[in-house]
């Protein structure tokens, strides 16, 4: 799938999300999504479908598979935080269920 194909999918109001790096465990929503929507997730050269479990705004994160409490969240191939609660595939990941240890170790 090419970037132009993704743009066409977004323009047609299909629910689409993108995995930025192969080590990511979240996808980024390329459109607003409502609970129950079926989202097409682009992962490298393939796509898969995920049912969205919550309303998710454009640019927010969707869990690709179940994740445990205190498990690291990876986006851009980097750890961006950890979960303060378990989440299921298709759930919204944001500041309400994630924390960041960066800066906490040195009191910053």
How far apart are the C-alpha atoms of 66 and 57, rounded to whole Å?
20
How far apart are the C-alpha atoms of 31 and 98, rounded to whole Å?
21
- CATH number of the structural domain 3-99: 2.30.130.110
Query: What tens digit of pLDDT does each residue of 2-33 get?
Result: 555 555 444 556 899 999 999 999 999 999 99
pLDDT at residue number 12: 53
How far apart are the C-alpha atoms of 8 and 62, rounded to whole Å?
21
Q: How far is CA 35 from the centre of its chain?
A: 14
pTM as predicted: 0.82
């Amino acid at each position: 799938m090419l970037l132009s194909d993704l743009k066409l999918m977004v323009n047609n109001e299909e629910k689409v999300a993108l995995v930025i790096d192969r080590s990511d465990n979240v996808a980024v929503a390329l459109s607003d999504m409502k609970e129950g929507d079926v989202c097409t997730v682009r992962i490298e050269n393939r796509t898969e479908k995920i049912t969205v479990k919550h309303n998710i705004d454009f640019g927010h994160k969707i869990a690709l598979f179940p994740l445990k409490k205190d498990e690291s969240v990876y986006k851009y191939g980097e750890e961006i935080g950890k979960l303060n609660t378990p989440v299921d595939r298709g759930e919204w990941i944001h500041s309400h269920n994630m924390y960041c240890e960066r800066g906490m170790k040195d009191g910053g």
